[in-house]
Structure 1
């Protein structure tokens, strides 16, 4: 008779070191946002053809010109990826409990590569719109799982700084996307921009399948499916029982005993889809009852409400208020510089303060409050020079929140909840934040007809975000991802499972027979 065996430690990666992992994820994140910038660039997006009163017509350029899209259809393409992202993020996060997360990233990047190549080969509005949705599906796996991997592998004293480096790629990638799309679109054809992105991402998609997979803390080892072969005559070899699922069920109120073990194994014969749905519902309930997580995400939604509207309406507001002839370049340049410096500074400052959830909330609240004051005063000034000076300082401060807010999302939940925590955070800040903010600001401007007043009203929402994060300072929060706590839990589980597996074999056989 064969005995049950569970490996005590995850396999050693064959190639990945922490710095290589961070570098790889930063390049992938950069490519994601290069794509965002490229499709918005003049070289790729293009314009419709025009005709003069004398009957002379010029042909259109880019996607809009080739497919003869109106402004509404063109706007749909820029945000169509959000559909796939919002739908697929929770799905990938849920699947990470039963499938190796590293392999899931490989699947997602493969979809992304296929979708971007499809954008370059599209032939009408609907074909490219569907491909843009699939781009979001591919991105969903990466967004949900990359940050937990980075948090696992970063040095203890530099966890937030490493997250800051990762999130710094957002403004940098978008800026490179404008340049890349403009150059390729003007020198070759807009289709080559998408094909180039697909070629650049392809090696990373392949790497997700051929390299020895990494493990996330709180999940099963190896290929995520280690089988318990209790007794050869009783446990069929073909019926794989996931150790992680058993541990999860035994970690509840039922306690570690043979009867609970049998009850935990029985649901595995039910439809896998139903099990996934039930588990997702239970995990969502846990997240929504976590006060620290809810407060953090509510503050993040309010913050992203402003940032999303700034990115869409900022150049137009600047042009109308200060008569900037180069508003796109000016706002883009300020955002790139302040985004990089602010994001990195936020991560390093939190590490120097001490990476705790309470300190993260202090930094979030303080930086957002001061940033709101500078941005608010900037829009009051009549001088363009004064506006640039104050608004730049304000952007530096508000961008300092990127690493701390994601640090809280990762550390206020158990390790096995981190992918879902990141996924729901991403979904929430888009659904309730930047997606509705741009049209709402447009409605306000239609009624007020004064960009200065509209900008001041929008900026005031930063004070709401600061207030919500201020509440988080006083919540009783425990860092659920501390290595010491995880080791204690793992040791306790192993010690309790040993007599269960060896001393109660007869009871387990009876349970398997009933199942």
Structure 2
């Protein structure tokens, strides 16, 4: 049998290599989101003149003749799969090795992205986008807990910041990548290129030695279950899984700190999601930027990297606590909202870019702190579910409705400047919600013991300071009972000897 160290820390997987692998996967995920939002891939509507002459349009929107609402639905479709699959993958992590689940998810993602490239109408690409969300769900739910487990103690927020830096960087690269490939080759080739990039990582999830997460067993069944009929085992497993899920959900919903953090994240993501999808198109229409994909991509990648890394490092310098994380979240979002709002008031392109860049720098500083709160306000065994439900919530109430709703508002107002100002004002709501979190009583539960805190060999992951303590942290064994018996006898003899000496 493999030892704990070999099962949980294979020699090839140093913590830094694990971080790099997860960062590249996350980057490719968000390149896909940026590519489908780019003018080169997303394209433009067919325009009909008064005389009846119609242009063919371009990209997905032109080929499938989509209005802005339908175009927004394409953006949000992958969230449906993400929302449905995230809790399932998080729950399965209690029985199946999480690293293998990531491999399954990335395989589904790769196949679905290929399907996007061969889609032939609105519904076919919408279904493929839903499957992209299913594939991403395993990775989103489990990657952050893995990173938090392996990061150095005093650099946890910084490592999370590096990981979440891939969100703006990936979207920005996607704008540029989608703009170039979509314009000069075809929007279909943009999806096929993404699939080729992700394929090696999907394979890696199956061939590499699996890793364990803090607070989770190795997923194997105990020998005592082998004699049960398969139908009883299946029924028992499903019941236990459902019971576990409901119990953990009750814990999450009762935690005010977790709920306030997620509510602020929902309002924040409502704006960010719509920005990432409609940004290039709004810039093209407000400021006549023919190279909007490249301009938005350049600004977002620089500000996203600097802002996200700065947020993580600043919180570490402040001393990473849940209360300090809320302070940083509230202040950064408030001032970021001011700069972004003022940016859309400028008629000059250069004034807009200067203020919008500062605004993005500030709002992206939230990525490390918001996920730090999510991971540290719950005990280890609940972290994947906490990340999954956070992801589900910010999408189902955030960027899933925001892209189609912004499309509806734009169809009604027909003014991208007014639409952008209305959207940006929601940042102030996010700041106000996170401000409330500063005053809530919070407890960091990262090192809290869990009933599932076992290592790869099935033994307790904590080492008792005294041998007697092992009785409380491990299953009783003959050796432990013998040790307790001998220890008790020795103490009785010592007590009798003391009494005899005192009497004499």
TM-score bracket relative to the smaller structure: 0.7 to 0.9
Moved more, 22-31 or 493-502: 493-502
Tell me if the contact between 2:72 and 2:407 (Cα under 8 Å) persists in the aligned partners: no
CA displacement, residues 26-71 of structure 1 (integer Å, 9 cap, x when unaligned): 1111111122222333443445677888998876654455555555
Moved more, 444-453 or 287-296: 444-453
Q: 1:422 aligns with which of 387, 392, 406?
A: 387
Q: 1:220 aligns with which of 202, 217, 221?
A: 217
Q: CA RMSD in A?
A: 3.5
Alignment partners' CA distance in 2, 1:60 and 1:321: 19
SS in 2 for 1:97: coil
Q: 1:434 aligns with which of 389, 399, 403?
A: 399
Q: What residue number does 1:41 align with? A: 38
Alignment partners' CA distance in 2, 1:291 and 1:361: 13
| TM superposition shift of 1:355 | 1.6
Higher relative contact order (CA 8 A, sep 6+): 2
Q: What does 1:71-470 correspond to in 2, within 5 Å?
A: 72-221=69-218, 224-225=219-220, 227=222, 229=223, 235=224, 237-238=226-227, 270-315=235-280, 327-381=292-346, 383-441=348-406, 455-470=420-435
Tell me if the contact between 1:220 and 1:226 (Cα under 8 Å) persists in the aligned partners: no
- TM-score, normalised relative to structure 1: 0.80
Alignment partners' CA distance in 1, 2:402 and 2:258: 22
| TM superposition shift of 1:141 | 0.3
- TM-score, normalised relative to structure 2: 0.81
Unaligned runs of 5+ in 2: 455-459, 482-504
Q: 2:444 aligns with which of 479, 494, 500?
A: 479
| TM superposition shift of 1:301 | 1.1
Tell me if the contact between 2:39 and 2:280 (Cα under 8 Å) persists in the aligned partners: no
Unaligned runs of 5+ in 1: 230-234, 242-266, 506-515
- CA change 1:180–1:383 in 2 (3 A) is closer
| TM superposition shift of 1:398 | 1.1
Alignment partners' CA distance in 1, 2:196 and 2:395: 29
| TM superposition shift of 1:413 | 0.6
Moved more, 303-312 or 50-59: 50-59
SS in 1 for 2:360: helix
Tell me if the contact between 1:14 and 1:211 (Cα under 8 Å) persists in the aligned partners: no
Alignment partners' CA distance in 2, 1:503 and 1:19: 40
The total of aligned residue pairs comes to: 468
Q: 1:500 aligns with which of 476, 481, 487?
A: 476
| TM superposition shift of 1:124 | 4.0
Alignment partners' CA distance in 2, 1:382 and 1:185: 29
